[in-house]
A and B are shown apart, each in its own frame.
Chain A
Amino acid sequence: MLELDEKFFGRFGVEYTPNQIIFCEFEPGYEFYFIQKGKVKITKIINDREKTIDVLTAGDVFGEMAILEEEPRSASAIAVDNVRVLKFHRDNFDTLLQGNPQLAYKLLLIFSKRIYDAKRRLMILLLEEPAVKVMDVLIMLAEQNPQYDFEGEVTLYTTAAQVASWAGMAEADAQKELTHLTRVDKIDLYEDRIVVKNIRDFQRVITSRRKNLYS
């Protein structure tokens, strides 16, 4: 990547200052970006609040949906600190690929991961009971960290608000389910993290619910 960066910065490099918009939700978009330096947050305005969906750092790509699609941006990208990016117009994509196949490989990795994340989220959303959805969100978060030992306690750095957003439910409802799980001693709930006592328990519940879903 470094080789690519140095060679291309003169032509494609752009810099942003903290809190500056790189692109805005619903704006037509024809470019995609590689972060060279700094942090970029991906946000959406939901119910008149700015929600941060993701924070990206050097080496990450964003705006990549514009490469192959005609849709307006589905989220905003905002510089968190001083940000340096390479900005490519999709018309240059083929040329860029020819010259930089490693970029293509990187995009394949990104797409693979995003497809899985979207599928996994859909699996959660398709569950019916809120309690079960919340459990499956916790499983998903645990899965994202391959070094976790599922036999022991698992600490997830997340909040009720984030769980709610994954589960597609109101924060108060997610909070209610999490409080219940605390009461029955399945999890410990903290301001910034959730400790799951036995994630295997949750997995058993979800597996059986999922079987019933289709039968």
Chain B
Amino acid sequence: MASGFQGGIITRGYKSGSIIYFENDKSEYIYILKSGRVLLTYTKIDTGEEVKEEVRQGEFFGVKSALGKYPREETAQTIGETTVLVLNMADFERMILRNVNVVRKMLRVFSNQLRRLGKTVRTVLGETDNVNPDVELFRIGEHYFKAGDFNKATYAFKKYMEYYPNTDYSKLAMDRIKTISSGGGYTSPASAKAPKEDDLSDFSMDEDSDDVFSFDDKPALKKETKPDFSFDSEPDNPSLASELSSEMDDFLSDDNTLDDFGDFDFDGGSSAKSEPTLKERFEVGFSSFKMDNYKDALTVFSEIINEGVPGKPHDLKIYIDAYFYSGVSYFKLKNYKEAMNHLGEIIKKYSDSERMKESLLYVGDIFAAASQKEKAITYYNKVANASPKDSLNSKAFDKIRTLQKS
């Protein structure tokens, strides 16, 4: 092998049959065939078939794996005496910056490959390619409409009207837009009052994890209204102010805007009533929760919580669920302090509720996340030994075993 410099770029000569690189090698070099022949051999991933491809003189090879920083997907071997130019990424960048046409050609090739791959992936997954984008776009609007995310719903419906004005659902899309703009339905209060990201993410585990995760000491909580976690303390009524959002009230009483709701049932699920009950409001939060949209979920749940303990037993169950799912949402957002506050409330005051065991399990998870292994195990143990036994018990056992191994 002979090497030489040519304007900063290395020229390298190979004898016949030499390997320039092997499949799975990692390297950041890109090559241009100057003279001779180079054969690329790779295995097709869907059939296992071996494919050989010859590089033409003046062509690049080894580009994608170098740029994408992943292992070579083919073996490059010379046929006859061969000379190549060897470029590092900086050389390559400099070279192509002077020749945009080369880039455009490469982009086209890459784009084609990507599209073909996408198609194969969809086939393997059994996803059909035969979708009508207009119907699907409408469905997206419906999804957000039902989830109470009206800004997004409006966007999708407006795009539907813009691109497919005279199709099956255009009247309905128009109706939806009108319903939303007239304040129809009960709005997800989320968009108006989403908690600031800072509030949710500024909690630092290192700084005050002791305060937050100790059940024995007085926790250093920001608000006095929040419960502490000493189990022996007197249970007290939540002194949370019961402040019903007045905008919410206005919406709820405005039932003439809801007429448009019921006349279309896209997949049989749209429930349309004029006065959303506590349960329906909870469902709005819960659907955000299920979509991993924890902040929106929290906005709804905290409204329910802030209204105070409801009188009816059934509503109490929803109230407890609002506490529980707030705790879980905070946990998912890694705001362990608030997660602890909410789940602690259930453990303290509603220890006979259905959510008790799950709450204990999550408290264990919070301690585990804070690397307080022993406390985590204490809580998992409470679940593991609680009766009646169900899947949560074995889940707790699994968690204990995992922790003990770590």
| 19 intermolecular pairs with C-beta atoms under 8 Å apart | A24-B137, A27-B156, A45-B143, A78-B152, A94-B104, A104-B96, A104-B107, A108-B96, A111-B107, A111-B114, A112-B110, A115-B64, A126-B45, A143-B70, A168-B124, A191-B369, A195-B406, A213-B48, A214-B48
Q: In the complex, A27→B63 CA distance in Å?
A: 33
Give chain A's interface residues, CB within 8 Å of chain B. 18-21, 24-28, 45, 48-52, 65, 67-69, 71-72, 74, 76, 78, 81, 94, 97-98, 101-102, 104-105, 107-109, 111-116, 118-119, 121-123, 125-126, 143, 146, 168, 179, 182-183, 185, 188-192, 195, 213-214
Segment with Cβ contacts to A, from B216-224, B241-249, B287-295:
B287-295
Give chain B's interface residues, CB within 8 Å of chain A. 45-49, 63-65, 67-70, 73, 93, 96-98, 100, 103-104, 106-108, 110-111, 113-115, 117-118, 120-121, 124-125, 131, 133-134, 136-137, 139-140, 143, 147, 149, 151-152, 155-156, 159, 163, 191, 194, 197, 290-293, 331, 334, 365, 368-369, 398, 401-402, 405-406
Main SS class of interface, B: helix
Contact A68 B48 (CB under 8 A): no
Question: Using Cβ atoms and an 8 Å threshold, which residues of chain B touch A116?
Answer: 64-65, 68, 70
Contact A108 B106 (CB under 8 A): yes
Q: How far is the CB of A62 from chain B (nearest CB, A)?
A: 14
Contact B118 A125 (CB under 8 A): no
Q: In the complex, A192→B156 CA distance in Å?
A: 33
A28-B163, A115-B64, A115-B114 are known; give 5 further A-B pairs, CB within 8 A.
A21-B155, A50-B293, A101-B97, A107-B103, A168-B124
Residue on B with the closest CB to A215? Answer: B48
Question: Using Cβ atoms and an 8 Å threshold, which residues of chain B touch A72?
Answer: 133, 137
Question: Using Cβ atoms and an 8 Å threshold, which residues of chain A touch B68?
Answer: 109, 112-113, 115-116
Contact B96 A27 (CB under 8 A): no
Question: Using Cβ atoms and an 8 Å threshold, which residues of chain A touch B67?
Answer: 108-109, 112-113
**CB-CB under 8 A for A97 and B45, given A26-B133, A109-B67:** no
Question: Using Cβ atoms and an 8 Å threshold, which residues of chain B touch A65?
Answer: 111, 114-115
